[in-house]
Structure 1
Amino acid sequence: MPGRRARRRPVGDALAGTGRFTCGVPEAVGVKRPSLDAVRGFDRAVYVVAVGQLINVFGSGLVYPFATVHFHLQVGIALAVVGLGLGARSVTTAAGTAVGGYLADSVGRKPVMVSSMALSAVALASFAFVPALAAAVPPGVAAAAGVSRVGVAFVGVCVASGFVAGLYTPASSAMTADLTDAEARDRGYALLKFTNNVGFGAGFVAGGVLYSLASVSVFLLDGATSAVVAVVLLLYVPRSDVGGDEEADADVDSSAESGASLARWWAAATQPRVLALAAINLGIAVMYAQMQTTVPIVAKEGLGLTAAQLGTLYVLNPLTIVLLQIPLVDAVAVWRRTRGLALSAAFWAVSMVVAWAADVGVGPVAVGVALVGGHLVFRTVGEILHSPLASSLMSSLGTDAERGTQLSVLEMAKRVGIGLGSFFGGLFFDYGLSTAWWGVLVVVCLGVAAALLLFERSVTPRENGAFGDATES
């Protein structure tokens, strides 16, 4: 993409900056020394998208640890129904992601991103009005579902907000890949993850204070941040010449073109390697759900933490990412991506063991709080390695024109996994089987690590991020 890619350095300088070559000889397997070069040299639009995500996830951080607490403990919705709502939100996010991936490749990245944020502004703010919306739910619907009217309203808002939010991720991920060279893509995604969590951490702290003062304010502000991001993207992000824009004026039969476009989407989405990586991603996503669904209940009901204390404790997640995201991803740049992802799964497994210890109460409250903190740190290191490496690996499995679709499949799997993790986590806790749940999660993590090492056999070294590998094919 002329004029929009990151500035290329001379070959010698580029190799010197990767840590993969020393005096023209491949460096021994290990980790590279981090430097500020890891966050330099990207196209300006990459930084704009990163700032936009910082603003957006500030809003998400306002509500993230408090959604379960608010709707279960304050509004009075059963935890299984809250888990069902959060699970349904993840499923509809997956559906929105499928649509978003198709539109990103056929219409363009920017229009999808702006539309998603504008619609999310309304949908997210609606969480503040769930009790009022319950009055509009027909009693027969609630009776048929076996759920209270307020529970039905909560699930309905989750469904709507999930779908419109899902449109965004494949378009933004594809745009980031479009604007970065293959060798810099891990770092590009790591930069986005870094800015996400600067916003997330600030949101946790602000959310703890605001929720204590006026609980619904956090939901209103979450919607407002999406509106701000829509404006930022509209004004400062250029349209991409990948993903349908260059064919916008083509004189073709619309129905024939639509059919061909859907056929291309299906072919890209159902490639065996794409589906295999998505299935692996689903397993890890089950772990993501626990930070929102079950761990807050352990901290608040089991340990007696206040909303402000919970929000402050949760700052460990974004703080760890801010401190380690760029250095860790840059340090394992000499690794094949599947190896980094397998290490990520190992950290997730350790975090679930620590959460189990906090849940069963192996010591006084102070020990329990320390264990929850340890869980947050271990799972965050797993998250640091997982998110950019999985996105980079998926973006290398197809062509540029397939990228939005294939990244949407990855995100769909993640959302389905979060949905399953939310629902089954709530169900296990409601039935007093929380100890068994942590064991199930550890087994899933170990299965994911094994699956990744098998998946490695199906990708070339270059697809797997080994750009300086002598065996590269």
Structure 2
Amino acid sequence: MALVQRWLKGWLPNLDPRVWILAAGRLLSQVGIGFTLFYAPIFFTEQVGLTATQVGLGIGLGSVAGIAGRFLGGSMADSPTAGRRPTLLASALVSAAADGVLLLANDFWIFLAGNLLMGFGVGLYWPAAESVAADITTPEQRNEAYALVRLADTLGLGIGVIAGGALISLTGAYRALFAIDGVTFLLFFAIIYVAIAETRPAGNPPRSLFQGWGHALKDTTLMVYAVVNVLFTGYLAQIQSTLPLYLNRFGGGQQGVSEGTLSLLFTGHVVLAAIAQLPLARALNRFRPAQGLMVSALLWGIGFGLVWQSGTGDFPLVWGGLALGVMALAMVAYTPIGSALVAAIAPETLRGVYLSVNSMCWAVGYLIGPPLGGWALDQGDATAHGFWLELMVTVVPALAVLMWLDRRLRRLARS
């Protein structure tokens, strides 16, 4: 037992207890999201009778509402009259209400209302949650702190997807998924209400809603990083949307990879990401943030090359598995460093707004990435295969921008 305790102490980061509480709350809420993530579209098309186009439109407009939520959430998180804690509480209540609407949805308009509420609630959540993690850690701890909460996200989502699939297999009760998801948001509300006090630094001056955004949008460092961030989140979107379909259609030529095998490959991807998250974050702490992102960019490039090989060469399972493994490492190298870098360059009084810009990059990347990948797959074999080589080429300008950003950050640090 003592040996296990020493091992855990050496493996787990030494962080403020509130970081662990926040991570536990995020794991809980992600379990609920995992319940509905993959199964809601199936339910609304096969049982409610909506078309796939209507479902896609509802989810897409929910993402637009998420951008609005991020905008308001960043301003609220920095506001002396609101702050991080009330914003998190509001996000939990809005998300729980969204589940209530989706639970009752029996036509497109109610479905749309539920998605708009859910997108808005999730948008409120991200800037405030990322700001809390930055408030209660030192700059040296933030990479591991963000890695911990990302690990909680990954584990919660995986548990939710598995449990949701089991519940549907046993009962077929799709609507129960929304009820469970709503309960997890209410439990998250209770955890924040009881265990997390306001963390916003004292002394934030009163300002208009748009004032902080004007400052952020004029920050050259933040805007340059935002370009790379959108590119990286577009890469992530390809794993979830384009890559499964590509392997299914083109893996190893024309025979493709079966759905069951794809499930095993992507399960391994998630498991590797969870195992590597904390050790890789600790290993990359020795590098400057932009250098850590360069490591991620190189891994993305290698991963895209391996995907191309899986579609054009022999042994597609080997190359596809290697690609997913390399991209799991690229993902876990990128996600904590990206948030830590933005928190580091943000003025303390505008941390919520700056992290809201960071979160909006995710929304934009996921808005652009899936349609682009889907278009490439619909153009035939040559375009589908070449798409991954083109993605690999985009890593080169990303590396150039990151080298410029690294020099700029060092110059700013000296001054």
TM > 0.5 between the two? Answer: yes
CA distance in 1: counterparts of 2:60 and 2:326, whole angstroms = 24
Calculate the aligned-residue CA RMSD, in Å.
3.2
Matched residue count: 396
Find the counterpart in structure 2 of residue 227 from structure 1: 186
TM-score (norm 1): 0.74
What amino acid does structure 2 have at the position aligned with 1:437? F
What amino acid does structure 1 have at the position aligned with 2:272? T
Query: 1:77–1:357: structure 2 CA closer, same or farther, 3 Å change rule?
Result: farther
The offset of 1:93, in angstroms, is 2.1
Matched, 1:442 2:396: no
Find the counterpart in structure 2 of residue 174 from structure 1: 131
Equivalent pairs: percent with the same residue?
28
8 Å Cα contact 1:86-1:158 kept in structure 2: yes
CA distance in 1: counterparts of 2:177 and 2:308, whole angstroms = 30
Matched, 1:113 2:88: yes
Find the counterpart in structure 1 of residue 300 from structure 2: 348
CA distance in 1: counterparts of 2:50 and 2:268, whole angstroms = 28
TM-score (norm 2): 0.83
Q: 2:150 aligns with which of 157, 171, 193?
A: 193
8 Å Cα contact 1:118-1:230 kept in structure 2: yes
Matched, 1:161 2:118: yes
Q: How does 1:179-328 map to 2 (within 5 A)?
A: 179-213=136-170, 214=172, 216=174, 217-242=176-201, 257-259=206-208, 262-298=210-246, 302-306=256-260, 313-328=265-280
Secondary structure, in 3 states, of the residue corresponding to 1:395? helix
CA distance in 1: counterparts of 2:276 and 2:324, whole angstroms = 14
8 Å Cα contact 1:89-1:419 kept in structure 2: no
Q: Deviations over 1:373-394 (max 9, x none)?
A: 4333222211111111111111
The offset of 1:462, in angstroms, is 8.4
Find the counterpart in structure 2 of residue 133 from structure 1: 107
CA distance in 2: counterparts of 1:160 and 1:279, whole angstroms = 28
The offset of 1:422, in angstroms, is 2.1
Query: 1:267–1:348: structure 2 CA closer, same or farther, 3 Å change rule?
Result: same
Matched, 1:390 2:349: no
8 Å Cα contact 2:237-2:369 kept in structure 1: yes
Q: Deviations over 1:389-445 (max 9, x none)?
A: 111111111321111111111111121111111222233334545334333432333
Specify every segment of 5 or more residues in structure 1 that has no aligned partner in the other structure, as ranges: 1-33, 138-152, 248-256, 464-471
What amino acid does structure 2 have at the position aligned with 1:425? G
Matched, 1:455 2:405: yes
The offset of 1:343, in angstroms, is 1.2
Q: Higher RCO, 1 or 2 (CA under 8 Å, sep at least 6)? A: 1
CA distance in 2: counterparts of 1:201 and 1:242, whole angstroms = 34
8 Å Cα contact 1:38-1:187 kept in structure 2: no
Q: Deviations over 1:329-376 (max 9, x none)?
A: 111211111111011112222333333444x3745xxx5455444333
CA distance in 1: counterparts of 2:41 and 2:245, whole angstroms = 8
Find the counterpart in structure 2 of residue 423 from structure 1: 371
What amino acid does structure 2 have at the position aligned with 1:441? L
CA distance in 2: counterparts of 1:349 and 1:219, whole angstroms = 38
CA distance in 2: counterparts of 1:268 and 1:285, whole angstroms = 20
Secondary structure, in 3 states, of the residue corresponding to 2:15? coil
Query: 1:195–1:273: structure 2 CA closer, same or farther, 3 Å change rule?
Result: same
Query: 1:316–1:122: structure 2 CA closer, same or farther, 3 Å change rule?
Result: farther
CA distance in 1: counterparts of 2:410 and 2:283, whole angstroms = 21
CA distance in 2: counterparts of 1:219 and 1:180, whole angstroms = 34
Q: 1:401 aligns with which of 349, 371, 374?
A: 349
8 Å Cα contact 2:300-2:330 kept in structure 1: yes
The offset of 1:126, in angstroms, is 4.8
Specify every segment of 5 or more residues in structure 2 that has no aligned partner in the other structure, as ranges: 1-6, 250-255
Find the counterpart in structure 1 of residue 72 from structure 2: 99
The offset of 1:105, in angstroms, is 0.2
8 Å Cα contact 2:293-2:402 kept in structure 1: yes
